[in-house]
Structure 1
Amino acid sequence: MSQSFDIAVIGATGTVGETLVQLLEERDFPLANLHLLASVESAGQSLPFKGKNLRVRALDAFDFSTVRLAFFAAGEQITRSYADKVRAAGCSVIDLSGGLPLEQAPRVVPEANGDVLKTLVAPYQLTSPSPSVAALACVLAPVRALLQMQRITLTACLSVSSQGREGVSELARQTAELLNVRPLEPQFFDRQIAFNLFPQVGAADDAGHVLHERRIVEELKQVLDQPDLKVSATCMLAPVFFGDSLSVSLQTASNVDLPALNAALEAAAGVEMVERGDYPTVTADAIGQDEVYVGRLRCGLDDPSEVILSIASDNVRKGAALNAVQIAELLIKHYL
């Protein structure tokens, strides 16, 4: 990566956007000029980058023909409104919102399906999948050869940061009100999230599934390149600021060699196995880290072809921002 590139970050003032900027600096990304973009309301703010304060500019007035790559971290509607225009200007797109169809913007987790880029042409239009899929794919991709996976059952306990900065602020406010014995008045959420657990994240469709659950199912099948894989996903909202906890059950075609599976995960890049008898948590292990933490690896009580495990991952850093930056690093190294 001897070349330097001009890059834009859309949604730079959001939680994920700010983390993207931090990672571009931490990983010494080959940047010539970094352009920070946001809504008119957020324009004029500044973010620190390599010892300077970079001013955030309005998205509407930016000329994307001046950059080679743009990260979209501003929500589905912004992505749908601008992505095609940006690509038409000759700029590649890495979206983090899931706002584009799978066939238009393939989901990529470099540890799992980075080779998919070989089949595409520039300017690229790619998506960093939901943080749950990014974490799960990092764990499952290196063990695909050991497991003939037939079904995956996932329960994802999502932190309130999955709902953006407003979700974090609402949990903080509600917690303060309850601890100070003040009347609770939900604002961003429609009910109490502090010291509570929501069994549903967002509105359900006629079949009872929420959009994020459908997104997980579709994206995981594509990233693992297993379109016939059976996937069941349940998303819950936990009163946790950052970090997602996943409980995973894998149904395989034959009895599982658990020591071999454990050894493969120990050797996997980006995966950190906790010691047997211990278990990973987001606050003690995952927050601020680039690894996906795995523990409680075991076979089913009455089914040796079932594997059960737990995952803890920083949804903002590892699941969203870092995965997007790793896609960009892969693009720049081999394709741009």
Structure 2
Amino acid sequence: MSQSFNIAVVGATGTLGETLVQLLEERDFPVGTLHLLASAESAGHSLPFKGKNLRVREVEGFDFTQVQLVFFAASEQVTSRFAPLAHKAGCSLIDLSGALPLEQAPRLVPEANAELLKSLSAPYQLTSPSPSVVALATVLAPLRGLLELQRVTVTACLAVSSQGREGVTELARQTAELLNVRPLEPRFFDRQIAFNLLPQAGVVDACGHGLLELRLARELKQVLALPTLSVAATCVLAPVFFGDSLSLSVQTGAAVDLPAIAAALESATSVEFVVLGDYPTAVGDAVGQDEVYVGRLRNGLDDLTELNLSIASDNVRKGASLNAVQIAELLIKHYL
């Protein structure tokens, strides 16, 4: 493609932002000028891109008319503040924070609902959904023609990187403290995460539902275009730096044809199917990879209309940054 696009990455010094910049280079995205933006505290840092070190500038005061596309890889608060400015300047934007409402910035997973773009117009406002939804949609989309999906129950064991760089730092610090037999004082998390599982990931509402769980349910229904789908989600923080592991149970309207499901997964885009007798893990298989790993395919113990399986996915690379870049690739190929 001869045409190039001026791009801005807001939150460039965070884990998602840095990975996003790496992927733009790896996938030879047609970047004209790349503007790296962050908070005042991070301004002045630099990141490598195509043989050069690009300086990070402060997002405050940036003129968004200089770019055609903006990635928001920062916090919800930053996106809520600066996304309207980018949109007003005529920029298309892709948000990774989930700050914008579904109606304003539809969630997109290219393997599941790329056709959504046909109903939208420039400047585009799109959201790369939560990494768990990217993994789930990548697996469930090729099965929609084979299953009458009625209910999805998922337990998502999330890596601490789902909480940002602070989560990674805290797990490393706690692990070092315990291995050196020193007293442990939790800082970022409200209790010990090292060698432990926390069955509550972040803030919960008055009914006890986690905001991440509510986001997962809303986004999955929208991406799969199944507004009446029943979704039950539990998010658990696991003592893993990178890579999410999901246990998925699907209730269907008829007996599940396991060989047909296996064949569909084996041929699906961005899916690595692990045959019976083996199983996928986040650390051993998925981290650093562009595919979602799926295994342990089986019926329910007492119900042939139930399908169970396990999923492993790199939450930072595949689940967030790569999905956002793939959305951008669709935009520049067909719509910008």
TM class, shorter-length = over 0.9
C-alpha offsets along residues 187-239 of structure 1, whole Å, 9 cap, x if unaligned?
Answer: 11111100000010112111110100000000000000000000000000000
Is 1:152–2:183 an aligned residue pair?
A: no
| Correspondence for 1:27 | 27
- How far apart are the structure 1 equivalents of 2:292 and 2:330? 20
Runs of 4+ with deviation above 6 angstroms: none
How does the TM-score come out when normalised to structure 2? 0.99
Aligned to 1:196: 196
Aligned runs of 1:176-187 on 2, under 5 Å?
176-187=176-187
Pairwise CA RMSD: 0.5
Give the % identical residues: 74
Hey, what's the Cα distance between the residues in 1 that align with 2:80 and 2:9? Answer: 16
Write the distance in 1 (CA, Å) between the matches of 2:3 and 2:222: 31
Corresponding letter in the other structure for 2:68: R
Per the alignment, residue 75 of structure 2 pairs with 75
After superposition, give the CA deviation of every residue in 1:67-124 in whole Å (9 maximum; x if it has no partner).
Answer: 0000000010011111111011010110000000000000000000011011011000
**Paired residue secondary structure (1:228):** coil
Counterpart code for 1:43? A
Partners of 1:75 and 1:223 in 2: CA distance = 22
Letter in 2 for 1:7: I
Give me the whole-angstrom Cα distance separating, in 1, the residues matched to 2:66 and 2:164. 29
- Following TM superposition, by how much is the alpha carbon of 1:61 offset from its aligned partner in structure 2, in angstroms? 2.1
Residue 4 (structure 2) pairs with residue 4 (structure 1): yes
1:4-28 CA-to-partner distances (Å, cap 9, x unmatched) read 0000000000000000000000000
The match for 1:297 is: 297
Report the equivalent of 1:268.
268
Tell me what 2:206 maps to: 206
Give the AA of the match of 1:302.
D
Distance 1:204 1:57 in 2: 35
Q: CA separation in 2, counterparts of 1:28 and 1:229?
A: 38
Partner of 1:116: 116
1:275 is displaced (CA, Å) by 2.3
CA distance in 2, matches of 1:62, 1:40: 12
Task: Report the TM-score, using the length of structure 1 for normalisation.
Answer: 0.99
Equivalent-residue separation in structure 2 for 1:326 and 1:261 (angstroms): 26
Report the Cα offset of residue 185 of structure 1: 1.0
Structure 1 segments unaligned to the other structure (5+ residues): none
Determine the structure 1 residue equivalent to 2:288.
Answer: 288
Equivalent residue for 1:310? 310
Question: Which 5+ residue runs of structure 2 have no aligned equivalent?
Answer: none
C-alpha separation in 2, matches of 1:188 and 1:226: 37
